[in-house]
Chains A and B, each alone.
Chain A
């Protein structure tokens, strides 16, 4: 798209757009193949009897990877093209970060009956494949079977499934499961399993299924969403409107391209140029670059539920002590971290309690004010001093030391090349060392940084405290992440503590006894938010007292679309903050060609 040849193509496309806008374009019926020569061409911007005007327009969305290598098997080990998937396979449901509610995709309804321990999923009547055949409940069952084969997490909550007719599937729950957890699990799955294509994998080995690269050459890619896959190469993946899509009226343009761009800088330049691309799904962009974008580039900030925090090694001589961890939390000024690293796209945790920022008031309710916020915008050095002195540390020559003269500090591991994380690490270490800790920043390549934690070869370091994605909006996931830390194999050595009974200071001045892991697991089994709330509050209270991690900062994902030739979702639209705008807005008819 950036090159002049492609520019030429783009210009042609523009002129085609203009021409078609004047002359009118084929309606949906023509695209469905049921109009043939008899279709009339309506005037631009007017609806036909059969559907809306469909323009011969092209939408170009920048993609950071080489599209030739990407494929459609969501269960595969690698090279799965998640952006490609969102164009051709419909979601079961989506989560709106703006409204904190689920929105239906290919599902008509989902009903969780905790008494019977089952969930009933009803597919839309008009949910079909692009060849016109119905998407059936048994195909959903096949998808679940394949997911079980590869050990998908949804099977942590299911014991089986059965169909009830062609469009209803009943999921048997494995005990009590909070409906939100099931919805978050389903929210990450797309309707991609077609009996004719995927049936062959039912009896195949797990390994074969994981290594199957579904490029569409041998096994056709049937679409259940807005577009059909046409072809792809190293430069782009090309898609055409799917007239069989259940909301086909929402899609008023013919072509969608995922253009392969080498990296962020290329995408920035393309957006600055203002003509080459119409969107960039997920693109970290510093403020000074955003300022260079033309006015028609729209930045959409979607909460990432992911962010910078601190992980401790709980077997460490210093950081294994609660007082030291709390002192660290008191000293760190979270607002200053945000100010240094990007206040436009980052925000601090109001309370370091393991729950995502901006969800805390909802979950903590009346208890919110009882929590210690450790000074969101202040370095509370007095409190930190008191805690360290209580723990037997003294300040000698400006540095805190234990009885043997050992300073509190060491290597502070941080991933190299993550620029915003580097800034945050520098801020944190500067604050801590100014107070009297003795840290040295040690940047490691991502692989090595991860390995350092999983091998418990650290005292304290930078680590994301929210696991990321929509699921992090539900407290179970981030709280469990911090206690168990499956991603580093429990290298923070908190698992034995999480599994054992703990007595900590309670909110009412007394003591509280709980087994942290059990408390968190209880959240997952409650039928409603109200039932889950007491467990969330206990788990969050424990988290903010014992600090398995320190919750510091969360951030927005930056997604870009354009509004010169294309419409955008209104600021107050529930679709505004749904991942990801260049796909979901098309699904909902909020991103259309202006004509």
Chain B
């Protein structure tokens, strides 16, 4: 069993190395160099070419033109030391930029995923309970519909009607300007109001799939012998629903939940751009727009590492939650 955990643990740095290498290579396949965009900006601003050259020359100390292998080794060593380099476009350490951005993204993703899970499970359970009823049919159709619509469509629609149209919600930024960033009620309310639309947009689509999963699992379990036995024993419906059905239906979704958090972290790129929300995705786009290699790689890496860790945690804890799963015998997922 210990060997199993060690093997799992050892895979993390290997996975990160592979991802860092892939990211490093792919990003350098992008057309143009890190300073081309800056060059054009300066020229369009009317800065004479000689001055543009001098300004760009001054930035060459980050050595984007150094041999690729040297850049690669430097980058990998930096990654394992926690040093992601310095952003070319912003001039700050990438680690500090991402540290500033990550809490906002985590807030969006965790909140929306938890909400999605709770609401989806509840709806799915009700669907299973009233299987075949008009409610089941209607909610199943609705679930399929929201599953098939990309979340950014909801984001744009909500932004247009609730923020720009009605003015009920803010359209951008993580909190109101002027409210001090402290653990005050005012600040908390402001953060929630600013996060409301992104969270709702990101939650709606996921509810459908969670509900359908829960419905399928529940219906399957409802037909199990031990549920029948429980009924024959005269246990109450509530007890059967919570202890026997819900618990066993949710268990298989537990791993999916952790994985989902990791995957959804990468999905915030478009969301944050729509809401001008300064999280990881926002800075990833900023890095891409300016061909800022260090910033791009840093953002990619943080998102990937989070996913890897989520998988690891799911893997490690699943056997505790469901003792039927025997560690070491299965390398599932």
Contacts and interface: CB of A to CB of B under 8 A. Distances in A.
A153 B90 contact: no
A446 B37 contact: yes
B67 interface: no
Contacts of A211: 58-59, 91
A66 B276 CA distance: 10
Interface stretch (B11-19, B168-176, B300-308, B322-330): B168-176
B190 A79 contact: no
Interface in B48-83: 48-51, 53-59, 61
Nearest to B181: A233
A7 B193 CA distance: 13
Given A150-B55, A450-B36, A471-B46, A3 B176 contact: yes
B169 A4 contact: yes
A298 interface: no
Nearest to B277: A262
A272 interface: yes
A5 B193 contact: yes
Contacts of B53: 151
B40 interface: yes
B209 interface: no
A266 B170 CA distance: 12
A447 B34 CA distance: 9
B167 A4 contact: yes
B58 A447 contact: no
A210 B163 contact: no
Interface in A226-257: 233-236
A273 B54 contact: no
A3 B172 contact: yes
A448 B31 contact: yes
B58 A236 contact: no
Interface string B244-262: 0000000000000000000
A2 B46 contact: no
Given A153-B48, A213-B91, A262-B273, A269 B171 contact: yes
Nearest to A306: B44
Interface string B271-299: 00100101000000010000100000000
B234 interface: no
Contacts, number: 136
B179 A468 contact: no
A5 B55 contact: no
A79 B58 contact: no
Interface in B145-186: 163-164, 167-173, 175-179
B285 to A, nearest CB: 10
A469 interface: yes
B161 to A, nearest CB: 12
Given A269-B171, A446-B40, A486-B49, A79 B90 contact: yes
B54 to A, nearest CB: 4
A5 B46 contact: no
Contacts of B172: 2-3, 261-262, 266
A266 B90 contact: no
A448 to B, nearest CB: 4
Interface string A572-586: 000000000000000
B45 interface: yes
A497 to B, nearest CB: 19
Contacts of A269: 164, 171
A4 B54 contact: no
Nearest to B43: A487
A266 B44 CA distance: 23
Contacts of B61: 207
A102 B51 CA distance: 24
A77 B61 CA distance: 13
Contacts of A151: 50-51, 53-54
A69 interface: yes
Nearest to B291: A447
A447 B37 contact: yes
Interface in A30-57: none
A69 B170 contact: no
A528 interface: no
**Listed residue (A4, A66, A207, A273) with the most chain B CB atoms within 10 angstroms of its CB:** A4
Interface string A66-101: 100100000011110010000000000000000000
A78 B51 CA distance: 12
A236 B177 CA distance: 8
A206 B31 contact: no
A37 to B, nearest CB: 27
Contacts of B173: 3, 234-235
Nearest to B173: A235
B276 A5 contact: no
B215 interface: no
A211 B190 CA distance: 36
B38 interface: yes
B264 interface: no
A467 interface: yes
Interface string A1-30: 011111101000000000000000000000
B32 interface: yes
B170 A469 contact: no
A269 B274 CA distance: 13
Given A9-B178, A206-B54, A447-B291, A487 B169 contact: no
A216 to B, nearest CB: 15
A79 B91 contact: yes
A324 B38 CA distance: 35
B194 A3 contact: yes
Interface string B204-217: 00000000000000
B177 A233 contact: yes
A2 B166 CA distance: 11
A445 B40 CA distance: 12
Contacts of B169: 3-4
B49 A487 contact: yes
Nearest to A208: B58
For the complex of A and B, the 10 pairs showing the least CB-CB separation, nearest first, are A3-B170, A447-B32, A5-B176, A262-B276, A153-B48, A486-B49, A210-B58, A447-B36, A469-B46, A448-B31
19 contacts: A2-B163, A3-B172, A5-B193, A9-B176, A9-B178, A66-B286, A78-B41, A78-B59, A207-B57, A210-B55, A210-B59, A211-B58, A211-B59, A211-B91, A234-B173, A262-B273, A273-B164, A446-B37, A447-B37
Given A2-B163, A468-B44, 4 more contacts: A2-B170, A79-B90, A306-B44, A444-B31
Interface of B: 31-33, 36-41, 43-46, 48-51, 53-59, 61, 89-91, 163-164, 167-173, 175-179, 190, 193-194, 273, 276, 278, 286, 291
